[in-house]
Amino acid sequence: MKTHLKSLTPVLAVLFLAVAALRSNAQITNPIQAHIGHSFMIGDKTLPPGDYTFHIEPNTDLGVMDVQTKNGDNVAQVNIRQSLDNHRPKHSELIFRKYGNTEFLSKVYESGSKEGVAVTETGKEEQRLVQEGQHALEHTEEQQ
């Protein structure tokens, strides 16, 4: 039995390190500064055009993202989950779902990482638009 455990130790160590590396890369590690030139919704909250900072709340297991204004006022807190993109963006990206003239924040990616976050909360307005049969157009806004 001891010999069997000794032979499994290197394999378990590699698996542990691989999972830890994936887990640590899953988070947006730096606050993302964004200038958004149009109003947009997060859940049921409408935010005006302006400068915002998006950052992951520490110790939430990649579960909560705060949105702050340029002055540092918290204007929204939203539940999120991990999201994988098909490319590694050169600049941070915000992805919106647009129904007519109404836009909803959908995903956020940090520059240089395929791993970002997706907003998990669907507000009442977006649910209403979907029930009416409207289809979202998704668009990406790169941030410098």
Q: What is the pLDDT of residues 16-39, one digit of tens each?
A: 444 444 444 445 788 999 999 999
Q: Supply the pTM of this predicted model.
A: 0.77
Query: Over 80: is that where the pLDDT of 60 sits?
Result: no
pLDDT given for residue 27 in this prediction: 57
Whole-angstrom Cα distance, residue 123 to residue 69?
Answer: 21
Contact of 65 with 78, CB cutoff 8 Å: yes
pLDDT given for residue 13 in this prediction: 45
Whole-angstrom Cα distance, residue 144 to residue 44?
Answer: 28
Q: Which residue has the higher pLDDT, 13 or 91?
A: 91
DSSP symbol at 79: E
Quick one: tokens of 18?
Answer: 């691989």
Q: What is the CA radius of gyration of the chain?
A: 19
